[in-house]
């Protein structure tokens, strides 16, 4: 006998997205754009990122395998370590510093930045899953998507008091390093044949982009 479902998976996905859109991003945008609540809202960024990543991974349309988990751990760890070297030396991305609004920092670098790399790498891989026939095309397109995302993020981050660039100048090397690292992570996902079907990837990325555009325009 076929099991009857009280509510469909699509309905669960839609309801979850509405809740995230309203309570996390909708209220977050209003709180950040309102001067009276901004200082209290900005330190909530780590919680919002962790919740967003958890929702994304929960709706992965696959069974988590050992290989998939190891690849995700590798992306988060490598992302953090590269950022750590970048902060300490200024050789990779340029000279910048993180603030406490991005969570606890180890040697000036928040471990949460590794989670951010994981979220972006997996989300963009999922968005570009069916847009090109050749895997190499999906790798390049997804990396370009991550680069375009960074163009917005770099403008919004100082306004959200997440990190600051030395003298306020973002060096071109930052974008080169970002693209190279994005390419490597996308290659890692495709090379290990990680299943990236996820209907929540695009909606969550859209919410983040709306947040950054709102911050850039009104702060």
Number of domains in the chain: 1
Does residue 136 lie within any of the structural domains? yes
pLDDT at 11 over 90: no
pLDDT at 13 (0 to 100): 82
pTM here is 0.93
Does residue 129 lie within any of the structural domains? yes
Instruction: Output DSSP code: residue 131.
Output: S
The mean pLDDT of 55-77, rounded to a whole number, is 94
* Contact between 183 and 124 (Cβ < 8 Å): no
* Contact between 41 and 32 (Cβ < 8 Å): yes
Q: What ranges make up the beta strands (E) of 5-122? A: 96-98
CA 199 to each of CA 5, 67, 193: distance values in angstroms, whole numbers, following the listed order: 19, 21, 18
Does residue 2 lie within any of the structural domains? no
Does residue 178 lie within any of the structural domains? yes
pLDDT at 130 (0 to 100): 75
Q: Helix, strand or coil for residue 47?
A: helix
Does residue 4 lie within any of the structural domains? no
Instruction: Output DSSP code: residue 19.
Output: H
Does residue 69 lie within any of the structural domains? yes
pLDDT digits (tens, 9 = 90+) for 170-208: 999 999 999 999 999 999 999 999 989 999 999 999 999
* Owning domain of residue 100: 9-218
Does residue 169 lie within any of the structural domains? yes
Tokens standing for 130? Answer: 């069916």
pLDDT at 17 (0 to 100): 84
Rounded Cα–Cα distance for residues 198 and 118 (Å)? 14
């Amino acid at each position: 006998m076929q099991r009857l479902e009280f509510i469909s998976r699509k309905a669960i996905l839609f309801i979850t997205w509405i809740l995230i859109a309203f309570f996390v991003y909708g209220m977050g945008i209003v709180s950040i754009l309102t001067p009276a609540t901004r200082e209290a809202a900005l330190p909530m960024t780590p919680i919002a990122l962790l919740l967003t990543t958890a929702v994304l991974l929960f709706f992965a349309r696959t069974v988590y395998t050992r290989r998939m988990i190891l690849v995700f751990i590798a992306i988060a760890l490598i992302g953090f370590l590269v950022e750590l070297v970048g902060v300490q030396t200024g050789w990779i991305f340029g000279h910048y510093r993180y603030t406490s609004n991005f969570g606890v920092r180890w040697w000036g670098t928040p471990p949460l930045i590794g989670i951010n790399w994981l979220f972006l790498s997996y989300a963009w891989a999922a968005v570009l899953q069916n847009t090109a026939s050749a895997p190499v095309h999906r790798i390049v397109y997804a990396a370009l998507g991550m680069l375009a995302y960074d163009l917005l993020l770099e403008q919004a981050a100082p306004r959200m008091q997440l990190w600051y660039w030395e003298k306020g100048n973002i060096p071109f090397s930052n974008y080169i390093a970002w693209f190279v690292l994005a390419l490597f992570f996308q290659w890692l996902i495709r090379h290990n044949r990680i299943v990236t079907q996820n209907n929540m990837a695009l909606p969550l990325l859209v919410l983040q982009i709306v947040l950054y555009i709102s911050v850039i325009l009104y702060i």
